Structure 1
Amino acid sequence: MPEVYSEKELFNELRDAYISNKKVMMLGYGRHSELRKADIYLHVKMDEYEIHENFVIAYAGASVSKIREDALSKDLLFPSFYDGSIGGLLANNEISPLSTRFGKPSEFTEWVDFVTPYKMFRWKGIIGSKGLFGGITKAKIKLFERPSKVYTFESTIEDTSYLISSIDRFSKFNPLVLLIEYLENGKYQFHATLTENIDTTGFSKDEGVPNIEESNKNSYYVRVNNVEEFVNVMKKINPIYAYTVLNTGYAKIYVTDEDLLANYEYFKSEEASMIHKKLKKIFDFKNIFV
């Protein structure tokens, strides 16, 4: 597995693959993407980063966890719980519970550099492309003021009317997190993280921010515009598990039968969106990236 330590090395590897008609897959060190069949697996080892007043400039191999910890020590917040590299975070455009306030990585990233076998580009459009048409090398990402205190309110809810009214209630406080998990048989786990303490009956209260331990196996991103749509999808398909983060426009749903999603706008968690598949035809017309 070739290791690349600079943008020039990456360009040379991609150029050689292009000339020799070999398939390439870009790798960091996260566990978020399954290996696809390729002739060459390029392991990106560029891991330098530098934090400035309200942003970080990081190479693709830099650890998101290290950047997050370093930012916290400076009273700054990196708004993702992703546990892999910067390149993986951007290639997947990974949603996190903090996406309620800060959005997906595509929304808090200012620019991205990526390399093809022909030249280097600076364009945010590669975010979410799953490595299908270029190798991400470097990015400028916004950081935010670290909250002095956070409070998470949680409850298991079966009454969907109460679930929806709870969303409306907590939305008024500009939450860091509004996360709804579908458990089974019509039960939902509600999580709301605020930067202020409020008196709320019917909800347990804890300090800290909720996170989700998950894999991409048998999972799909389904378009849902609000909690009402999320609830309607849950009632119709009763998945193994699902969740939605308010303001992201998607639910992540785990089902064993993909046909259950036939009536919805969706794509597999391991696959790029249709837009990125179309972009691949422009940036990778020889189809060397897998």
Structure 2
Amino acid sequence: MDVYSEDELFKVIRGAYEEGLKIQVLGNGKHGKKVGVNEYVYTRKMNWFEIKNGVVEALAGADVNAIRKEASEEGLLLPTLYDGTVGGLLATNFPSPLSTAYGKPIDFTNWVRVLTPYGGIKWKMLIGSKGIVGAISRAELKLYPKPSKILTYEREEVVDRDISKLMSLSPLVLLVDYQGGKFRVHASYTKEVMLKGYSVDEGVPLVEVNDERKEVIVEGDDFESFKKVVEVSQPLYAYWIWKSGIFVLVNADTEMLKEAHIEYYTKDQPKEVYVKLKRLLDARSIFV
């Protein structure tokens, strides 16, 4: 089912509440449907947004790529590489390589409106709730001056002192990934910096994204801890973005993580605080 406005979205939510139905609210539906759902509700037709005075106000279905493109044409930057809708961006609150300088989506969001069976709530605390508490309907996000250029320095076989040096130079992006037994660092700056032994390219580095693969997340934010987690779990691929607060592991040995007493969770697994909030804001558990 497609909805076209906040009013229509609320009517669907309220109807599900009164009839005891289970719904899942999706943007474009790219990131997977859950089981046990009576109705899938798509916000992709709620695709309005407006850029004004250095911010963008948008409905949940607004396309993040379209916002980023229009902002760029005005010399502004929406600091995320998320491929989806504003609602999905804020529901997941997942970092991008740009999180090193700009933080997660919650950090560059001024306010968000979330619809529950009882009405709308403006509360940033609900960013990252994975859609289990309510449906994001509208938000205002900060835009930043667009850098005139971005240079990315890359190197394999990195060690702690390399990371410390790159951190001291205030990077726009500091991404470390692991594959094939090697750690590789990608550090982006808005001007040329003096670094020996690095290849240099223009643009922002990307991470491998594939919704089909098995990913787990471990909390942490330093290179030494990242190396330890990789050594224990032996993932096929892994990455860490400085200041994201997490390590992402692909096809990791979760049994070894358990044996090492390293806690982990999946990308679509809500944190305990949202499970508790759900009992208050979604007492009949209509949101799946």
Instruction: Tell me which interval the TM-score lies in, with the shorter structure as reference length.
Output: over 0.9
Q: Match of 2:273?
A: 275
Alpha-carbon distance between aligned partners in 1 of 2:169 and 2:252, rounded to the nearest angstrom: 37
Output one character per residue of 1:98-147: Cα deviation in whole Å (capped at 9) or x when no partner. 00000100111111001011111000111111100101000011111111
Q: Return the offset for 1:30.
A: 5.3
Matched, 1:206 2:201: yes
Alpha-carbon distance between aligned partners in 2 of 1:55 and 1:110, rounded to the nearest angstrom: 9
Q: Return the offset for 1:184.
A: 2.6
Percent identity, please: 39
Q: Return the offset for 1:257.
A: 4.1
Alpha-carbon distance between aligned partners in 2 of 1:33 and 1:252, rounded to the nearest angstrom: 19
Output one character per residue of 1:211-242: Cα deviation in whole Å (capped at 9) or x when no partner. 12312431111111311111111112211111
Q: Match of 2:241?
A: 245
- Structure 2 unaligned residues grouped into runs of 5+: none
Matched, 1:190 2:188: no
Q: Return the offset for 1:261.
A: 2.6
Deviates more, 1:90-99 or 1:209-218: 209-218
- Structure 1 unaligned residues grouped into runs of 5+: none
Q: Match of 2:173?
A: 177
Q: Return the offset for 1:280.
A: 1.2
Gap change, CA 1:163 and 1:31, over 3 Å in 2: farther
Moved over 6 A (4+): none
Alpha-carbon distance between aligned partners in 2 of 1:32 and 1:108, rounded to the nearest angstrom: 23
Q: Match of 1:35?
A: 34
Corresponding letter in the other structure for 2:36: K
Please show how residues 2-41 of structure 1 align to structure 2 within 5 Å: 2-29=1-28, 31-41=30-40
Alpha-carbon distance between aligned partners in 1 of 2:41 and 2:55, rounded to the nearest angstrom: 28
Q: Return the offset for 1:36.
A: 3.5
Task: Name the SS for the 1:200 alignment partner.
Answer: coil
Q: Return the offset for 1:28.
A: 0.5
Alpha-carbon distance between aligned partners in 1 of 2:277 and 2:134, rounded to the nearest angstrom: 11
Gap change, CA 1:225 and 1:256, over 3 Å in 2: closer
Task: Name the SS for the 1:121 alignment partner.
Answer: strand
Q: Match of 1:122?
A: 122
The alignment's C-alpha RMSD in Å is 1.4
Task: Name the SS for the 1:228 alignment partner.
Answer: helix
Alpha-carbon distance between aligned partners in 2 of 1:68 and 1:16, rounded to the nearest angstrom: 35
Alpha-carbon distance between aligned partners in 1 of 2:170 and 2:122, rounded to the nearest angstrom: 33
Corresponding letter in the other structure for 2:263: E
Is the 2:216–2:252 Cα contact (8 Å) retained in structure 1?
Answer: no
Matched, 1:265 2:263: yes
Gap change, CA 1:172 and 1:257, over 3 Å in 2: closer
Corresponding letter in the other structure for 1:37: G
Gap change, CA 1:117 and 1:241, over 3 Å in 2: same
Give the aligned length: 284
Q: Match of 1:284?
A: 282
Q: Match of 2:76?
A: 76
Task: Name the SS for the 1:268 alignment partner.
Answer: coil
Is the 2:233–2:253 Cα contact (8 Å) retained in structure 1?
Answer: no
Corresponding letter in the other structure for 1:24: I
Alpha-carbon distance between aligned partners in 2 of 1:163 and 1:54, rounded to the nearest angstrom: 39
Question: Which of 156, 163, 183 matches 2:159?
Answer: 163
Matched, 1:102 2:76: no
Q: Return the offset for 1:176.
A: 0.9
Alpha-carbon distance between aligned partners in 1 of 2:141 and 2:257, rounded to the nearest angstrom: 34
Gap change, CA 1:53 and 1:30, over 3 Å in 2: farther
Task: Name the SS for the 2:117 alignment partner.
Answer: coil
Alpha-carbon distance between aligned partners in 1 of 2:39 and 2:253, rounded to the nearest angstrom: 32
Q: TM-score, normalised by structure 2?
A: 0.95
Alpha-carbon distance between aligned partners in 1 of 2:150 and 2:60, rounded to the nearest angstrom: 30
Deviates more, 1:58-67 or 1:33-42: 33-42
Deviates more, 1:225-234 or 1:214-223: 214-223
